[in-house]
Structure 1
């Protein structure tokens, strides 16, 4: 299926994900010492970052005009919306920082080169991390979905304080509202 417009989505036509309990174990969990490659070429170890970190995960971003991963991508609950989710974090980045987030990161299992194209095209002001070898995903037992032979992280957002998960947003729907929900939580729960 050709993806002409990654932003124009009628969420009422997209199946919403349900809370399958796959993230209930995360709150209170320490982030393992896993180094992840960032879109700027650096290596980021989330467990070593002090202060408050916002980490949002998404299955896979698409590229305008290119063929989708599978024809029924939009009908997989929680699959559609990676670009709108990322753009909402981009648009609220300054507000998230003002509300106490020392760092904001996106993460997916896509490789860094693929992610870098998206970061440049969408003018994303934060780094996106690649967990292409699933090291963090497996260490935290993050919720995943298997599509077209690929393991993808289900959409979620984590608030991490000094290397420990203090809040989990899961499931996330609609994706373009996730950054606003995170911002509201940060404002109501200062570090």
Structure 2
């Protein structure tokens, strides 16, 4: 069964655009190998065509607790609904012009594999557990419960260059349809 969480977004704090991603559009993606849940590594700078990569902070295990104060952090909640929305729209996103779809977090690959299986994701998750990509691109981050995490954003990369950035992303479960609409307008599909 495909997992999906219902969240009342009206009760969640809305993230503001703090300018943390304003420098990314037009920036070349550095050649960094990221561990992938489908085995091996992925270097986003070497992928031809359009790549959609959504960064999310932290995905909890179904039986695990959230970090203290998680739901009060603007933009933190919603990793599972965002992933499920990309899962549900993956075919349409690819038909609209994306060659690849990836999720990205600072969680390690074994942890992420559980999410891929549980959520039946048709695309891999990439791990930036050492914050190599985050540092190289100066991606927006925050710290909670002793963890440095990515702020939620989505990048469209075209032939190794960041073409568009969705930031901040809220509510997360609508991000996939926003990306789809952008691709359809951009690619004329």
Q: Smaller-chain TM-score range?
A: over 0.9
The DSSP-based 3-state class of the residue aligned with 1:85 is helix
Corresponding residue number in structure 2 for 1:172: 169
**CA distance in 2 between partners of 1:65 and 1:12 (Å):** 25
Cα deviations by residue, 1:25-58 (Å, 9 ceiling, x for unpaired): 0000000000000001221000000100001000
**CA distance in 2 between partners of 1:138 and 1:7 (Å):** 31
Q: How has the CA–CA distance of structure 1 residues 60 and 6 changed in structure 2, closer, same or farther, with 3 Å as cutoff?
A: farther
Q: What do you get for the CA RMSD once the two structures are aligned?
A: 1.2
- Structure 2 unmatched ranges of 5 or more: none
The DSSP-based 3-state class of the residue aligned with 1:16 is coil
Q: Does the Cα contact within 8 Å between 1:11 and 1:174 map onto a contact in 2?
A: yes
Q: How does 1:34-49 map to 2 (within 5 A)?
A: 34-49=32-47
Corresponding residue number in structure 2 for 1:60: 58
Deviation at 1:91, TM superposition (A): 0.2
Corresponding residue number in structure 1 for 2:158: 161
Match of 1:75 among 72, 77, 83: 72
**CA distance in 2 between partners of 1:51 and 1:134 (Å):** 25
Match of 1:102 among 90, 99, 102: 99
Q: How does 1:1-191 map to 2 (within 5 A)?
A: 7-68=5-66, 70-190=67-187
Q: Does the Cα contact within 8 Å between 1:35 and 1:43 map onto a contact in 2?
A: yes
The DSSP-based 3-state class of the residue aligned with 2:98 is coil
**CA distance in 2 between partners of 1:14 and 1:6 (Å):** 18
The DSSP-based 3-state class of the residue aligned with 1:92 is helix
**What is the TM-score of this pair, normalised by structure 2?**
0.96
**CA distance in 1 between partners of 2:168 and 2:154 (Å):** 9
**What is the TM-score of this pair, normalised by structure 1?**
0.95
